[in-house]
């Protein structure tokens, strides 16, 4: 199987790019895939924390690029899942430390030396250098948004940049959805979001306090068989793998609300 290079991006910060990257990467590895996740958010690294690997960082992405260490030395093996590796970002540098060509070359090197099934790039927020680096190195794109007007507007901008610069058709994850709020008419509904953004929906992740807990503990929620958010990420992973899993929300709205409510204790 040839390696698929996927960038996870959003435009707006704080919508769940890094959480999604960690969960998708972990979920794919749980299915037996060999996965390398790369934190390209140089200067503001987070992915290592969410994956619970921050105390094991010795070398980082910038040091690999500058030739100060071997690629394998910077790769951190996950504690729980076989076949999952993290390349952390440098915390003491900034976005200008890496240029577009270097990022592309690094990804090529990972593909050649490590031969993973998936290479997942966690993009920084914004649409500047860091985002462009990650975008240039990827072949597929996942855009994460929340059902807020500002996040959707930023997602729209990012989708336009992805389509124009990289010629890719990105897929969408709607994160932190709160069914009760939609029901009350206080949040944009999924069909409205899809109508506006006009992209393929990869999945919907409900708001779940356990995601915060799991991020703090460094255990991605995809491990959790109980919570709906974990199931949502497992569905997303299955869809990435080409399986057709019905979306949680689009068919029967009533039934879904009830199910959501039950899960959320509403």
Partner 1 sequence: MQDTIRIRATQHGVSIVCDPNASIAELTGAIRTRLQSHAQFYRHADIKLNVGDRELETEDVATLREVLEKEFQLRLSGVVCSPDTLLKRFEREIGCAAEFPSSVSSVVRSDVAEEKPDPEPEIRFDDGLEETMIVRQTCRSGEKFSSPGSLVVLGNVNPSAEVVAQRDIVVMGVLRGNAHAGAGGNTDAVIIALALEPKQLRIAGHLGLPPVVEESHGRSGSAVAPEIAYVENNRIVLEPYTGRFPGA
Binding residues (CB under 8 A) for partner 1: these are 147, 149, 153-154, 156-157, 159-161, 182, 184-189, 191-192, 195-196, 198
Nearest distance from C-beta of residue 129 to partner 1, angstroms: 17
Task: List the beta bridge partners of residue 201.
Answer: 172
Q: Positive or negative CA dihedral for 151, 140, 3, 111? A: negative
Give the C-alpha separation, 112 to 115, whole Å: 6
**Choice between 195 and 244, CB closer to partner 1:** 195
Burial (CB < 10 A; 0-12, 13-18, 19+), residue 72, is exposed
Nearest distance from C-beta of residue 114 to partner 1, angstroms: 35
Residue 105, both tokens = 């070359």
Residue 47, both tokens = 């992915």
Q: At what angle do helices 100-114 and 129-137 cross, to 10 degrees?
A: 40
Nearest distance from C-beta of residue 147 to partner 1, angstroms: 8
What is the pairing mode between strands 200-206 and 76-77?
unpaired
Nearest distance from C-beta of residue 152 to partner 1, angstroms: 8
**Choice between 54 and 156, CB closer to partner 1:** 156
**Choice between 191 and 266, CB closer to partner 1:** 191
Nearest distance from C-beta of residue 193 to partner 1, angstroms: 10
Give the C-alpha separation, 39 to 42, whole Å: 7
**Choice between 48 and 207, CB closer to partner 1:** 207
Nearest distance from C-beta of residue 170 to partner 1, angstroms: 12
Nearest distance from C-beta of residue 208 to partner 1, angstroms: 21
Q: Where are the beta strands (DSSP E) in 189-238?
A: 200-206
**Choice between 49 and 256, CB closer to partner 1:** 256
- The DSSP-derived string for 208-264 is -HHHHHHHHHT--GGG-SSSHHHHHHHHHHHHHTT-----SSSS-HHHHHHHHHHHH
**Choice between 71 and 190, CB closer to partner 1:** 190
Q: Positive or negative CA dihedral for 87, 11, 6, 21? A: positive
**Choice between 2 and 198, CB closer to partner 1:** 198
């Amino acid at each position: 199987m040839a390696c698929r290079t996927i960038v996870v991006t959003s435009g707006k910060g704080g919508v769940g790019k890094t959480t999604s990257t960690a969960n998708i990467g972990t979920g794919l590895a749980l299915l037996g895939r060999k996965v390398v996740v790369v934190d390209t958010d140089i200067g503001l690294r987070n992915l290592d924390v969410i994956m619970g690997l921050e105390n094991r960082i010795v070398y980082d992405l910038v040091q690999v690029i500058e030739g100060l260490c071997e690629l394998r030395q910077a790769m951190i093996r996950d504690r729980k899942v076989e076949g999952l590796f993290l390349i952390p970002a440098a915390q003491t540098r900034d976005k200008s430390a890496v240029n577009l060509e270097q990022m592309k070359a690094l990804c090529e090197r990972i593909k050649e030396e490590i031969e993973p099934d998936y290479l997942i790039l966690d993009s920084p927020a914004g649409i500047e250098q860091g985002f462009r680096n990650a975008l240039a190195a990827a072949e597929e794109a996942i855009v994460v948004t929340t059902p807020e007007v500002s996040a959707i507007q930023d997602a729209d901008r990012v989708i336009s940049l992805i389509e124009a610069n990289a010629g890719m058709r990105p897929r969408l994850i709607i994160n932190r959805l709160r069914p009760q709020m939609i029901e009350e008419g206080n949040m944009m509904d999924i069909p409205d979001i899809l109508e506006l953004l006009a992209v393929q929906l990869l999945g919907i992740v409900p708001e779940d306090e356990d995601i915060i807990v799991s991020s703090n503990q460094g255990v991605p929620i995809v491990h959790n068989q109980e919570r709906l958010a974990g199931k949502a990420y497992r569905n997303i992973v299955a869809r990435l793998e080409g399986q057709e899993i019905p979306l949680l929300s689009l068919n029967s709205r009533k039934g879904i609300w009830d199910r959501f409510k039950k899960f959320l204790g509403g």
